[in-house]
Amino acid sequence: MLLSNTARQAPPAYPASGVLPSAVQPHLAEFERFLASQVDDFEPHMRELVRYILANHGKRIRPTLVFGSGWTDDGRIRPDLVHAAAIVELIHLATLVHDDVLDGAALRHQLPTASRKYGASVAVLLGDTLLTQALKIASDYFTIEVCRAMALATRRVCEGEIHQTLERGNSRFSVDEYFEVIALKTGELFSVSCLLGAQVAGHPAEYVNVVSRFGLQLGIAYQLYDDLADFCGDENQIGKTLGTDLASGKFTLPLLYLIERLPETEAAVLRRDVLAGLATIKDLTVRMNKHGVLVAVRERFEVELRLGEDALADWGHLPSTTRLLELAAYVRGQAGRLLG
């Protein structure tokens, strides 16, 4: 707990905020136009399906990361950044479509998942087409670097997901393994979003490394927030059912921290209850509160996020750094709202 104590002592590098950076809104609007235009590139029988996936979306954090890390003084909208934003978002949407198949999820952002609406078979294939469309857009750059970075990042995202899936129901899953998994399944795509933005905008190589590191940390922090929200979020606000990780036997950080803090016999009972599907969110949340688990996760979130912000410390003179710190503040604000 040394790290989280350190985090508690210092004020946040950038104060919490509830809104995405407003400067990128025109860029996101252009991104939406470009993304919607992709529909026509598909075979006619595919277009309704692709349109459905593109329309039911989240906060577009990854595209915002691309625009943020690729920000330059004039703040103008650059088509190459718009394309990069579309690539990372399509990959993200593809993984969500596949995730919903794996989890048998019924709803995503309050609407039926592709798997529920079109069947699991179509959803698997639809995910594949979104993924390959992303790589097709990536191959329109004059440099092969975009393809290479995206193919590797996507593979690593899936490797993280597989690791987690193989460990479902393993009650001896460790905190270290948990962090390995989330660095891959969430950190990689946040990181490559920053990498692409900075690279496409022509930022120096050292800065490209720095923003990649920032992205990785922001992704880890974001996943901590997301996993915490599965226990104590507001269903309407997060747009999905609470307890889905628990129900699928995923040992996420709040649960791992609770197990760590319980006496051994009580921990053994809890492990068994989780595997038997007997643990309830309500009971767990009460116990997590009692044992300071929610606060500890929140502190760990702050530590991870701060590591990302610290990576940018020497680059405050670049306007892109301001955009990225605004985004970190937004994610901090989201997490803050969870615990009131």
Q: Which of 208, 217, 196 is nearest to 87 (CA)?
A: 196
CB of 142 to a second copy, least distance (A): 8
Residue 176 in the binding site for a second copy (CB under 8 A): no
Residue carrying structure tokens 């969870």: 338
What spatial distance separates the first Cα and last Cα of the chain, rounded to whole Å? 22
In the chain, DSSP finds a helix count (H) and a strand count (E) of: 18, 2
Closest to a second copy by CB, 174 or 289: 174
- Told to check if 42 binds a second copy by CB under 8 A, we report yes
Find the shortest distance in angstroms from Cβ 95 to a second copy.
Answer: 8
Residues numbered 141-160 forming contacts with a second copy, rule: CB under 8 A: 141-144, 147-148, 150-152, 154-156, 158-159
Sequential DSSP letters for 12-44: PSS---SS--GGGHHHHHHHHHHHHHGGGGS-G
What's the CA gap between 176 and 313, in Å, rounded?
Answer: 27
Can residue 249 be called a binding residue for a second copy (CB under 8 A)? no
Nearer to a second copy by C-beta: 125 or 275? 125
Q: Does 184 bind a second copy (CB under 8 A)?
A: yes
| Minimum gap (Å) between residue 278 Cβ and a second copy | 23
Least CB distance to a second copy at residue 300 (A)? 23
User: Does residue 161 bind a second copy (CB under 8 A)?
Assistant: yes
Q: Does residue 124 bind a second copy (CB under 8 A)?
A: yes
User: Is there binding between residue 37 and a second copy (CB under 8 A)?
Assistant: no
Q: Which one, 14 or 118, has the nearer CB to a second copy?
A: 118
Q: Between 140 and 234, name the residue whose CB sits nearer to a second copy.
A: 140
3-state secondary structure of 248: coil
| 283-291 LR contacts (CB < 8 Å, sep 24+) | 284/231, 284/246, 284/254, 284/255, 284/258, 285/231, 285/232, 287/258, 287/262, 288/231, 288/232, 288/254, 288/257, 288/258, 291/257, 291/258, 291/261, 291/262
Identify the residue among 107, 120, 262, 281 touching a second copy (CB under 8 A).
Answer: 120
What's the closest the beta carbon of residue 147 comes to a second copy, in angstroms?
4
Measuring CA to CA, which residue among 14, 6, 3 is closest to residue 309? 14
Nearer to a second copy, 11 or 44 (CB): 44
Q: What mask of x and - would describe binding to a second copy in positions 186 to 215, judged by CB under 8 A?
A: ------------------------------
Give whichever of 17 and 223 is closer to a second copy, judged by the CB atom: 223
Helical ranges in 104-144 per DSSP H: 114-118, 120-138
The only residue of 1, 29, 55, 166 in contact with a second copy, by rule CB under 8 A: 166
Rounded distance, CA 138 to CA 146, Å? 6
Asked whether 73 and 323 are in contact (CB, 8 A), the reply is: no
Q: Is 247 in the site for a second copy (CB under 8 A)?
A: no
Q: Please say which residue, 167 or 304, places its beta carbon nearer to a second copy.
A: 167
CB 299 within 8 A of CB 6: no
Query: CB-wise, 123 or 328, nearer to a second copy?
Result: 123
Query: Cα–Cα distances in Å, from 316 out to 75, 177, 225, 324?
Result: 16, 33, 26, 10
Asked if 118 and 129 count as a contact pair (C-beta separation under 8 A), the reply is no
Q: Nearer Cβ to a second copy, position 162 or 268?
A: 162
Give the footprint of a second copy on this chain (CB under 8 A): 42-43, 45-46, 49, 95, 98, 101-102, 118-122, 124-129, 131-133, 135-136, 138-144, 147-148, 150-152, 154-156, 158-159, 161-163, 165-166, 184
